[in-house]
Chains A and B, each alone.
Chain A
Amino acid sequence: DTAVSQTPKYLVTQMGNDKSIKCEQNLGHDTMYWYKQDSKKFLKIMFSYNNKELIINETVPNRFSPKSPDKAHLNLHINSLELGDSAVYFCASSLGLQDSGANVLTFGAGSRLTVL
């Protein structure tokens, strides 16, 4: 059983299109995240949700919209895709937010987005 699963694994699309990436965790964790990893391998936090509530919303273009229907799911929708959006997007989850020891992240396998 995959702990954090995200789909699709690969996504190739044209500039200007809209796409979604889905994420689900079966660990019973309260907190979920979206990270972007660019070609230089730098991990950058985009969003964090704790029990369906938005906690972290970094400086991300408003073309990116997260949605958490319940605490086990956090989806990412991207409008009007641009070349610079090409990256690997990782979903992750952790037990909680305030207890640093509970903040060990379990990552999904990643979704590689290529915008042409």
Chain B
Amino acid sequence: GQNIDQPTEMTATEGAIVQINCTYQTSGFNGLFWYQQHAGEAPTFLSYNVLDGLEEKGRFSSFLSRSKGYSYLLLKELQMKDSASYLCAAMDSNYQLIWGAGTKLIIKP
């Protein structure tokens, strides 16, 4: 079957760095997406990886290893506004998104 695994909850300190891991198993692969969702709001797109390696976008970076079925989202210089859920989603060979349950990130001062 197809599935996505990511930690349910993580806690980090303001100003620090946190890495949110995601492992996936899909029938075929057409890319890995990360979305951010603040409580009570809609998910918003953060990053897309289809090739192995690191994509950097300001304080956020996303890494992909296709051979390991593994991705991570790296958040640097954490701010209180980064408290949110982070959703990992992999696209299968039919271009359908398989979603993880999300990682709730709690930032403490």
Note whether A and B form a binding pair: yes
B44 engages A100 (CB within 8 Å): no
B31 near A101: Cβ-Cβ < 8 Å: yes
Q: Which residues 86-104 in A have Cβ within 8 Å of B in the complex?
A: 90, 97-98, 100-101, 103-104
Across the interface, name the chain B residue whose C-beta is closest to A56: B96
Q: Could you tell me if A41 and B41 are in contact, using CB atoms closer than 8 angstroms?
A: no
Partner of B91, one of A44, A103, A107: A103
Q: Which of A3-56 contact B (CB under 8 A)?
A: 40-45, 56
B60 within 8 A of A: no
Q: Is the CB–CB distance between B99 and A42 below 8 Å?
A: yes
Q: Mark A40-84, 1 if CB is under 8 A from B, else 0.
A: 111111000000000010000000000000000000000000000
Q: Is the CB of A97 within 8 A of B42?
A: no
Question: Which of chain B's residues has its CB closest to A33's CB?
Answer: B97
Residues in A whose Cβ lies below 8 Å from that of B85: 41
Compute the total of residue contacts between A and B using a CB distance below 8 Å. 52
A44 to B43, CA, bound (A): 13
Q: Is B33 an interface residue (CB 8 A)?
A: yes
Q: Please encode chain B, from 67 to 109, with 1 for each CB lying within 8 Å of some chain A CB and 0 for all others.
A: 0000000000000000001010001000111010110100000
B residues in contact (CB < 8 Å) with A: 30-31, 33, 35, 37, 41-45, 48, 50, 85, 87, 91, 95-97, 99, 101-102, 104
Sorted from nearest, which 6 A-B pairs have the closest CB atoms?
A107-B42, A100-B30, A100-B31, A43-B99, A42-B101, A104-B45
Chain A positions near chain B (C-beta within 8 angstroms): 40-45, 56, 90, 97-98, 100-101, 103-110
Beyond the given pairs A56-B96, A109-B41, 11 more chain A to chain B contacts, judged by CB atoms under 8 angstroms and listed by A's residue number, are A41-B102, A42-B102, A43-B43, A43-B99, A98-B95, A101-B48, A101-B50, A103-B31, A104-B33, A105-B43, A107-B44
